[in-house]
Amino acid sequence: MKVLLITPPYHCGVLESAGSWLPTAFVYLAGSLRKAGYEVEIYDAMSKFHTYEDIRAHLTEVQPDVIATGAITATIYDCLNVLKLAKELNPETLTILGNVHPTFCWEEILKEHHDIVDYIVRGEGEQTLVALLNCISDSRDPAGIEGLAFWRNGKPVVTPDRPLVQDLDLLATAWDLIQWDEYTYHTKPGSTLAVVSSSRGCTQNCSFCSQRLFWKQTWRARSPENFVAELEYLHREFGVDVAMISDETPTVDRHRWEHILDLLIHKRLDLELLMETRVNDVLRDKDILGKYRKAGIVHIYVGVEATSQKTLDQFKKGTRVEESKKAIELINAMDIVSETSFVIGMPDDTMESIARTVELAKYYDPDMAFFLPISPWPYADLYPQLKPHIEVFDYSKYNLVEPVVKPINMTLDELRKAIGKASMDFYTDKLSRLDKMSPYKRKFMIAVIDIIANNSYLAEMMGSLGENADGMPLDIKKYLDSIS
């Protein structure tokens, strides 16, 4: 069988404004498939900004036997459209859908789209996908394969969950199938950007998130030696000089994490690392944050999410308000770029409460802050509380960009303007204090704010607030021009 792994042509102005990000999950799926004897291609239509006509032409040329794609909630429609296109070109093509949204919403998908979706892979896919294709190749009944959902005899069928892979070091990869010249980090022109995974899972209880549910509230990790060897390989073989660690919480095990840092320091790789971690782990590691910087970590995201303890408790973050500010201070003290986000647009939000959040965001003083409208994932614990307030039922808008939940005392248009104003106020303030930053951060922030004001989803939001020039808020344009 010839298998095509394809990303959907979806864009909302978030990730693509910062860089082009390779589909790491496909690297693992392709590695497992190739190890099992299948011919595999990774087709990243999203990063290529390909249209459906481009995709049609590619499918016509390649003529895959199997086409598989993965959907988060915001991309589900585009993923379904890709599979529909594949069926139109060749009804015999086997179509497979996976990732977070299908894992939880398989019944809804199969009831409405069983004519274009042959199988849904639920949860981790490396073993399930290989087992499914082996089963079909041998003309056996896939009902015996764990981790599947499919349509049979007029109704959706689901098989038992597949146990998670316990030894992540044993998973095969297919990094050579990546077209490396397509992936770069925009704040570092000419860079080659990788997205890597050192662990899988999340043991936290955040009520608005999908990751702990997808990973069954477990956490598994690759060995430090295995992970660092992969970074060294990517740097040596493909010229990777920036890598984002995609883990939700790579630092859960302090002993393991410090071992990774020590190995990176010893290797002296010319490699910048971007990562996410928890506020509590930053506070725990305050005595070794110097190792973070020496190991090449230049950018840390921590999810503050809210500036009131009541909201933090509602989100089940497990942190205190004052801890978030301290974590950001510690990151800044190491000359590491600090990034965070604040969830707004909850049912009890008002223009005044959002304005207070922005002022507190300035007080926390992260280098980057994003004000994200709450997205009501239909499988998240918080969904029942948000459901009565949902005004938009188009899943493609569930992207943390478009407001879809209406606060009781605001319209969606007012919320949209509040998001734009929050971003404009925060970054205008940040620009006014560039002279207090280190040369490294100053250069980074100028590049970031230029991207945000010109090439991100926020450009239109901010530009629509009043008089602007070339689509850019005048206050920000003034600062950037003076810097130039």
CATH number at residue 388: 3.20.20.70
Q: What mean pLDDT is predicted for residues 186-200?
A: 96
What confidence tier does 207 reach under pLDDT thresholds 50, 70, 90? Answer: low
The most confident of the ranges 263-272, 370-379, 459-468 is: 263-272
Helix (H) or strand (E) holding 284: helix 279-284
In DSSP terms, which residues pair with 245 in a beta bridge?
196
Whether 260 and 126 map to the same domain: the answer is no
Q: What mean pLDDT is predicted for residues 335-342?
A: 94
The most confident of the ranges 6-15, 161-170, 440-449 is: 161-170
Q: Is residue 455 part of a domain?
A: no
Tokens of 127: 């073993």
Q: Is residue 48 part of a domain?
A: yes
C-beta contacts of 135-143 below 8 A and 24+ residues apart:
136/94, 137/1
Whether 308 and 238 map to the same domain: the answer is yes
pLDDT digits (tens, 9 = 90+) for 227-256: 999 999 999 999 999 999 999 899 999 999
In DSSP terms, which residues pair with 328 in a beta bridge?
none
Query: Structural domain tally of the chain?
Result: 2
Instruction: Give the number of residues written for the chain.
Output: 484
Whether 140 and 253 map to the same domain: the answer is no
Q: What mean pLDDT is predicted for residues 381-392?
A: 92
Q: Is residue 306 part of a domain?
A: yes
Q: What mean pLDDT is predicted for residues 372-391?
A: 91
Using a 10 angstrom Cβ sphere, with 0-12 exposed, 13-18 middle and 19 or more buried, the burial of residue 11 is middle
Whether 204 and 146 map to the same domain: the answer is no
- Of 383, 400, 428, which marks where a domain is finished? 428
Tokens of 319: 């942190």
pTM: 0.92
Q: Is residue 457 part of a domain?
A: no
Whether 209 and 346 map to the same domain: the answer is yes
Residue 145 has pLDDT above 70, yes or no: yes
Q: How far is CA 395 from the centre of its chain?
A: 16
Whether 110 and 197 map to the same domain: the answer is no
Q: Is residue 402 part of a domain?
A: yes
Using a 10 angstrom Cβ sphere, with 0-12 exposed, 13-18 middle and 19 or more buried, the burial of residue 247 is buried
Query: From the CA atom positions of the chain, what is the Rg in Å?
Result: 23
Q: Is 268 helix (H, G, I), strand (E, B) or coil?
A: coil
Residue 313 has pLDDT above 70, yes or no: no
Spatial separation of the C-alpha atoms in residues 129 and 459, rounded to whole Å: 40
Residue 260 has pLDDT above 60, yes or no: yes
268 vs 263, 265, 296, 405, 440, CA distance in Å? 9, 5, 9, 47, 19
Q: What phi and psi values does residue 170 have, to the nearest 5 degrees? A: -85, -10
Q: Is residue 213 part of a domain?
A: yes
What confidence tier does 26 reach under pLDDT thresholds 50, 70, 90? Answer: very high
Find the helix packing angle between 24-35 and 126-137, rounded to 10°: 40
- What is the dihedral sign for C-alpha 408, 461, 243, 399? positive
Which residues, at least 6 apart from 61, have a Cβ–Cβ distance to it below 8 Å? Answer: none
Residue 201 vs residue 472, higher pLDDT: 201
Q: Is 79 helix (H, G, I), strand (E, B) or coil?
A: helix
Residue 454 has pLDDT above 80, yes or no: no
Residue 458 has pLDDT above 90, yes or no: no
Residue 455 has pLDDT above 80, yes or no: no
Tokens of 95: 């179509």
Q: What is the DSSP track for 324-338?
A: HHHHHHHHHHTT-EE
Spatial separation of the C-alpha atoms in residues 44 and 48, rounded to whole Å: 6
Which of 4, 9, 79 has the alpha carbon at shortest distance from 43?
A: 4
Which of 178, 208, 207, 205 has the alpha carbon at shortest distance from 193?
A: 178
Whether 186 and 136 map to the same domain: the answer is no
What confidence tier does 465 reach under pLDDT thresholds 50, 70, 90? Answer: low
Spatial separation of the C-alpha atoms in residues 177 and 421, rounded to whole Å: 42
Q: DSSP secondary-structure letter at 390?
A: B
pLDDT attached to residue 265: 98
Q: Which domain holds residue 352?
A: 179-428
Question: Taking all residues of the chain, what is their mean pLDDT, rounded to a whole number?
Answer: 91
Residue type, 150: F
Whether 60 and 104 map to the same domain: the answer is yes
**Alpha helices (runs of H) in 124-278, residue ranges in sequence order:** 126-137, 211-214, 224-238, 254-267
The CATH number of whichever domain residue 110 belongs to comes to 3.40.50.280
Q: How far is CA 193 from the centre of its chain?
A: 15
pLDDT attached to residue 469: 45
- What is the dihedral sign for C-alpha 210, 215, 217, 223? negative
Tokens of 405: 């939940």
Q: How far is CA 144 from the centre of its chain?
A: 32
Q: Is residue 269 part of a domain?
A: yes
pLDDT digits (tens, 9 = 90+) for 318-337: 667 678 899 999 999 999 99
Whether 105 and 249 map to the same domain: the answer is no
Using a 10 angstrom Cβ sphere, with 0-12 exposed, 13-18 middle and 19 or more buried, the burial of residue 107 is middle
Q: What mean pLDDT is predicted for residues 278-295?
A: 96
Whether 203 and 144 map to the same domain: the answer is no
Spatial separation of the C-alpha atoms in residues 213 and 206, rounded to whole Å: 10
Q: Are 168 and 199 in contact (CB under 8 A)?
A: yes
Whether 91 and 196 map to the same domain: the answer is no
Which residues, at least 6 apart from 76, have a Cβ–Cβ distance to it below 8 Å? Answer: 101, 102, 105, 109, 395, 396
Whether 66 and 194 map to the same domain: the answer is no
In DSSP terms, which residues pair with 66 in a beta bridge?
3, 94
Q: Is residue 477 part of a domain?
A: no
pLDDT digits (tens, 9 = 90+) for 165-181: 999 999 999 999 999 99
263 vs 173, 193, 224, 285, CA distance in Å? 22, 21, 8, 17
- Of 128, 158, 188, which marks where a domain is finished? 158
Tokens of 396: 């493609």
Residue 82 has pLDDT above 70, yes or no: yes
Report the percent of the chain where pLDDT is more than 70: 90
175 vs 96, 260, 267, 379, CA distance in Å? 22, 21, 21, 32
